[in-house]
Amino acid sequence: MAVSLLHNFVSGKLDGTDATLVQPSNWNAEHTLQLGTGKILGRATAGSGAAEEVAVAGALTLTSPGGVPTLTGTGASTGKAIAVAIVFS
C-alpha cells in the first residue's frame, strides 16, 4: 500500500531557472510518504495533532472481527497495545 500526498494549492507558474529553489512542477507533483522500518503512522500520544511514526515491537496481526479489518500490535516505546481500526471503502 502506498500513501501519497497532494497539495490543496496548485501553482500555475512555470519552473524557473534556479535549480536550488522549489519548482512549481515539484509542488504540484504527488509525493509518496516514506515510513521507517517497523513503524506505523498514527499517534503515540493522546489527543489530536500531527501524525507520528509509531514504533512497533513484535508482529502486527490483521483480523476482521465483525467484518471490520483491525490491525493490532504492541508499541515499542510505550509497551501499550496498539489497536487501529481500518475501514476499506
- 70 and 45 in one domain? yes
- 28 and 52 in one domain? no
Query: What is the domain extent for residue 2?
Result: 1-34
**Cα 28 to Cα 14: distance, rounded to the nearest angstrom:** 11
Average pLDDT rounded to a whole number, residues 61-78: 68
**Cα 30 to Cα 53: distance, rounded to the nearest angstrom:** 21
- State the pTM of this model: 0.42
Mean of per-residue pLDDT scores for the chain: 74
Please count the structural domains in the chain. Answer: 2
Comparing 45 with 49, the larger pLDDT belongs to 49
